[in-house]
Structure 1
């Protein structure tokens, strides 16, 4: 019996990016059984676009913007409840090459959460990484070492929701993404948790095309969540039984905050008090355990 696959695309106010993403899914050489679009309460005409240009797709519109974490949680839960064998999750700013799903299914005997390589406007993205247990964060390598050494795929302990292919059994064991992240880090930690229960692999095939440049200007949302969400990582590390010394974690987090402040002060276009304060609020709210949407979005 053929495996039933549902793609879950989470979108918020980026209808011009959403369109090519959906077309790339409809163009898969192995047709998808279902495409679900999770609309995070968009206000840019996304519902009209979906109704007029993609009437055959399923849309789950949320009442408020729950961030990528909330959108993926809702979409994966919906697909799980519908009984799909695999859920293919992605943001709206990527496109999948026509052979991507075929390649993913070809590797299902080796993995339960499968990632493909991706490229962006500056070239192929280096994504192989290791965990810094003291800082509860992943550190990207300077090159994809395993692939340079000739491996067709390699085991990893993190994930990225720009094309993660997730077997049903993974969701049965660990549930769905933590909505408290709002944006950023929910996918990385989901992969870590999954690696304790299932096989998480990274395949040497560039099947994901990211249309947004990686060197875009950062916003206060980025600076705030990059620091605050480290405290959620710490919580998950402790729950998994990973030995983390709290004083070392706080030191590493302080260094991350200082690095962000330095970047803000030395980058003219980023040099605003809004960004400076965002880092400080991220530290404060993380220490207090205040997670979910930032205060200015609630």
Structure 2
């Protein structure tokens, strides 16, 4: 059985759209878990009244992404889940999303699969995995290497985000849950997929499994919309800051080859300190 785990904090309209899209899936052999981390916009009441099929786990109000996901994953594992998927509430899975994921999952030995992300408003491709160059801190995108007419099936990749990430149970049995203490919000998904690769699991981007996303809705994108000194500080040091220097350091120390670590940290810090003003 597949369990889909979605951590939420407010943004009820997005949660509704995501759950409505899951109700429209052509493959319905899955269960949904919402981890509601203290929402104040009526999320709990709406879920109880309108989505009785969803299991709702209350959070402490300070879980952030990683601990929230882990709470749902552990519950699913305790229920005997064979496959688990992490998903954000601000995504809209296409009707055959789950079917395409499970078809890929049954096509080879246990592996991890990520979604092909498209802008939910424009349908333009947004993300499809890739490879990180530790020395330069640059990211080689699969989208830049696979022509539009060849974007189908599964392609090997190195890192995947937690938006629609399908994971077999055996991965958790081998490497544990996401690293919540080290990486409470950002980088935890990239860290997990890299740790899974180090443990011997293959990682694929599934071009057939499409997910609508809202690229401007992340907390860090909102920091960038108004470039003030306060937002710059949030960008670098807040838990929800996309360039969080502490979390980047933890991520690099856990995953970067030791010989490349000094240069990785130097280039990584430089990109984060200056990049805020360049984009």
Aligned mate of 2:205, from 193, 202, 217: 202
The more displaced of 195-204 and 222-231 is: 222-231
Whether the 8 Å contact between 1:93 and 1:210 is mirrored in structure 2 is: yes
TM-score, normalization: structure 1?
0.78
Whether the 8 Å contact between 2:114 and 2:204 is mirrored in structure 1 is: yes
Which residue number in structure 2 is paired with residue 247 of structure 1?
262
Which residue number in structure 2 is paired with residue 50 of structure 1?
47
Query: 1:251: how far off?
Result: 1.3
Superposed, 1:25-64 pairs within 5 Å as 25-64=22-61
The more displaced of 246-255 and 167-176 is: 246-255
Which residue number in structure 1 is paired with residue 189 of structure 2?
187
Which residue number in structure 1 is paired with residue 227 of structure 2?
none
Show CA shifts across 1:224-282 (max 9, x none): 242321111122126xxx2344431331133123324534xxx8xxxxxxxxxxxxxxx
Superposed, 1:52-131 pairs within 5 Å as 52-108=49-105, 109-110=107-108, 112-120=111-119, 121-122=121-122, 123-131=124-132
Q: Secondary structure at the match of 1:249?
A: helix
For residues 189 and 175 of structure 1, the distance between their equivalents in structure 2, rounded to whole angstroms, comes to 12
For residues 183 and 27 of structure 2, the distance between their equivalents in structure 1, rounded to whole angstroms, comes to 33
Q: Which runs of 5+ in 1 are unaligned?
A: 268-298
Q: Secondary structure at the match of 2:26?
A: coil
| Number of aligned residue pairs | 257
Which residue number in structure 2 is paired with residue 141 of structure 1?
141
Query: 1:131: how far off?
Result: 1.3
Q: Secondary structure at the match of 1:165?
A: strand
Q: Which runs of 5+ in 2 are unaligned?
A: 225-230
TM-score, normalization: structure 2?
0.83
For residues 138 and 165 of structure 1, the distance between their equivalents in structure 2, rounded to whole angstroms, comes to 25
Q: Secondary structure at the match of 2:254?
A: helix
For residues 128 and 39 of structure 1, the distance between their equivalents in structure 2, rounded to whole angstroms, comes to 28
Shift in CA distance, 147/186, structure 1 to aligned 2, threshold 3 Å:
farther
Which residue number in structure 2 is paired with residue 170 of structure 1?
171
Q: Secondary structure at the match of 1:181?
A: coil
Shift in CA distance, 105/235, structure 1 to aligned 2, threshold 3 Å:
same
Shift in CA distance, 243/203, structure 1 to aligned 2, threshold 3 Å:
same
Query: 1:33: how far off?
Result: 3.0
How large is the Cα RMSD of the aligned pairs?
2.4
For residues 130 and 66 of structure 2, the distance between their equivalents in structure 1, rounded to whole angstroms, comes to 21
Query: 1:186: how far off?
Result: 0.7
For residues 134 and 215 of structure 2, the distance between their equivalents in structure 1, rounded to whole angstroms, comes to 30
Whether the 8 Å contact between 1:133 and 1:244 is mirrored in structure 2 is: no
For residues 91 and 160 of structure 1, the distance between their equivalents in structure 2, rounded to whole angstroms, comes to 10
Query: 1:9: how far off?
Result: 0.9
Show CA shifts across 1:36-83 (max 9, x none): 001122122211111121123100111122111111111111111211
Which residue number in structure 1 is paired with residue 271 of structure 2?
256
Shift in CA distance, 6/17, structure 1 to aligned 2, threshold 3 Å:
same
Which residue number in structure 1 is paired with residue 246 of structure 2?
228
Shift in CA distance, 186/138, structure 1 to aligned 2, threshold 3 Å:
farther
Show CA shifts across 1:17-45 (max 9, x none): 10010111122111133110011221222
